[in-house]
A and B are shown apart, each in its own frame.
Chain A
Amino acid sequence: MFYINAASTLSHQPSFMNPGFSASLVPLSGEEMMQPVAYKDYIEGNLLRRMSRILRMGVVCAKECLKTDHNLEKLIQPDAILVGTGLGCLADTEKFLNTYLTVEGMLPPTSFIQSTHNTIAGQISLTLGNHSYNMTHTQNSLSFEHAMLDGMVGLTEGKGDLLVGGADEKIELLDTVAEAFDFSEFPLSTGVSFFRLSSRKNEETLGRVADVEVVTGVQDPEKALHEFLSGNNCAPSDISKIFYQAPRHDYLMKNKSGMPGEWINSIAFSGLYATASAFAFHMALDEMSRAKDHCKILIYNHLNPNNLGLVLLESVEA
Chain B
Amino acid sequence: MANDVFVTGLGVISSIGTGVEANWDALAGGISGITKSSVYGLDEGFPVGEVKLNNQQLCENFDITISPVSRTTLLGVAAAKEAWGNQQVIPGIRTGVIAATSVGGMDQSERFYSQWLKGDASEMGLLACHDSGISAEIIAGRLGISGYVTTLSTACSSGANAILLGARLIRSGRLDRVVVGGMDALCRFTIQGFNSLMIYDKEWCRPFDAGRAGLNLGEGAGFLLLENEKSMQMSGTVPYGLFGGGANAADAYHQTASSPDGKGATLAMAEALQKAGLQPSDIDYVNAHGTGTQNNDLSESAALKNIFGEKIPAFSSTKGYTGHTLAAAGAVEAVFAMLCLKNSAVLPNINFRKPIEETGLVPVTEWQSMPVRAILSNSFGFGGNNTALVFTRL
Residues of A within 8 A of B (CB): 81, 86-88, 94, 96-102, 106-109, 112-119, 121-123, 125-126, 128-140, 142-143, 146, 149-150, 153, 156-157, 173, 176-177, 180-181, 214-219, 306-307
Contacts and interface: CB of A to CB of B under 8 A. Distances in A.
B172 interface: yes
A123 to B, nearest CB: 7
B281 interface: no
B193 A139 contact: no
A132 B264 CA distance: 9
B251 interface: yes
Contacts, number: 184
19 contacts: A86-B131, A100-B192, A100-B193, A102-B117, A112-B196, A113-B197, A121-B383, A122-B383, A122-B385, A126-B252, A130-B252, A131-B251, A134-B249, A135-B165, A136-B154, A139-B133, A140-B134, A176-B121, A216-B140
Given A101-B110, A109-B256, 18 more contacts: A86-B131, A88-B153, A112-B189, A118-B383, A121-B154, A122-B383, A125-B252, A125-B383, A125-B384, A132-B249, A135-B248, A137-B150, A138-B104, A139-B149, A140-B133, A142-B150, A150-B165, A217-B149
A290 B148 CA distance: 33
Contacts of A157: 168, 172
Nearest to B193: A112
Given A117-B132, A118-B385, A125-B252, A216 B146 contact: yes
B224 interface: no
Q: Which of B104, B250, B253 has the most CB of A within 10 A?
A: B250
A194 to B, nearest CB: 16
Interface of B: 97, 102, 104, 109-110, 113-114, 116-117, 121, 124, 127, 130-134, 136-137, 140-141, 145-155, 161, 165, 168-169, 172, 174, 188-189, 192-193, 195-197, 247-256, 263-264, 267, 381-385
Given A109-B193, A122-B384, A125-B252, A137 B263 contact: no
A96 B117 CA distance: 13
Nearest to A126: B252
Given A97-B109, A113-B256, A136 B133 contact: no
A80 B127 CA distance: 32
Nearest to A90: B130
A109 B153 contact: no
A128 B252 CA distance: 8
A119 B133 contact: no
Given A112-B196, A122-B383, A125-B384, A156 B153 contact: no
A81 to B, nearest CB: 7
Contacts of B141: 217
B137 A109 contact: no
